[in-house]
Amino acid sequence: MTTKSIPLTNELHAYLVAHGSPPDEIIRDLAEETRSVLPEHATMQVAPEQAAFLTFLTRLLGVRQAVEVGTFTGLSSLAIARGLPEGGRLTCFDISEEFTGIARRYWARAGVQDSIDLRIGPAADGLRELPHERHLDFAFIDADKTGYPIYWAELVPRMRPGGVIAVDNVLRGGRVIAPQDANDRAIAAFNDEVLADVRVDLVMLPIADGLTLARVR
C-alpha cells in the first residue's frame, strides 16, 4: 500500500488507459492527426485517460448545460459531448479557426456536432455574454494559463449549486512548486486563489498534468 499516487511508467500508463474506457477509433484518429498535423502544439491535447474521465464525469453529474474554455482540436469537447443526454448542450470558446476546424470534423464523425455550440473569439468576452443566472452544470477550463482567474471569476457565479468546474494543468509538470515562467507563476497563484475561495469545495487530482475539481456550493 502507499499513501500517495504512484508514478506512472509508460507501460503502466498504457495499462491504465487500456483498463479504463480505452480510446475508440475516433479518439485514436483525432489524437494521431493532432500529433501529425500540429506536432508543436500536440501537448495541448488532453490525455486519453482524461478524455475518458470527462465523459464519465459528465454522465455521473447528469450534465445538461456545459461550457469549455479552450477547445484546441476537440478531444475534450468530444468527450464531454459524448456524456451529455439528449438535448444537452456544450458551449465551447476558442480563438483558433484552424485548430477547431479539425475539431468540427471529428464532432461530426462522432455524431455530436448538434450538441456543441462553438464560439470563436476571446473567451472572457464570450463568458460575459452568457446568462447571469446559475444555470451551468459543468465547466472545463484548459486555455491560456494567465487567463484562468478571469474565466474562474465569470464561471463560478453562473454554476448551479452542485455544479462542477474542472481545471486542467494545475501542476504544470511539477513546476508549481518552483515556477519557472509566467505561466507557472500564474497557475501557482491561481491554485492559491481557488483554495481560498469559500464558494467551492475542491480536490486536486494527479491526472495527467493535474486536474482540479471544484464543486460550487
1 confidence band (pLDDT: 50, 70, 90)? low
What digits encode the pLDDT tens for the residues 73-105?
999 999 999 999 999 999 999 999 999 999 999
Listing DSSP states for 148-214 in one string gives HHHHHHHHGGGEEEEEEEEEE-SSGGGTTSS--SHHHHHHHHHHHHHHT-TTEEEEEE-STT-EEEE
Give the whole-number percent of the chain exceeding pLDDT 70: 100
Is the pTM higher than 0.85? The answer reads yes
Summarize the confidence of residues 49-60 as an average pLDDT.
97
Residue range 10-216 forms a domain whose CATH class is alpha beta
Average pLDDT along the chain: 96
Residue 110 has what pLDDT? 98
Q: Are 132 and 61 in contact (CB under 8 A)?
A: no
**Residue ranges per domain, the chain?**
10-216
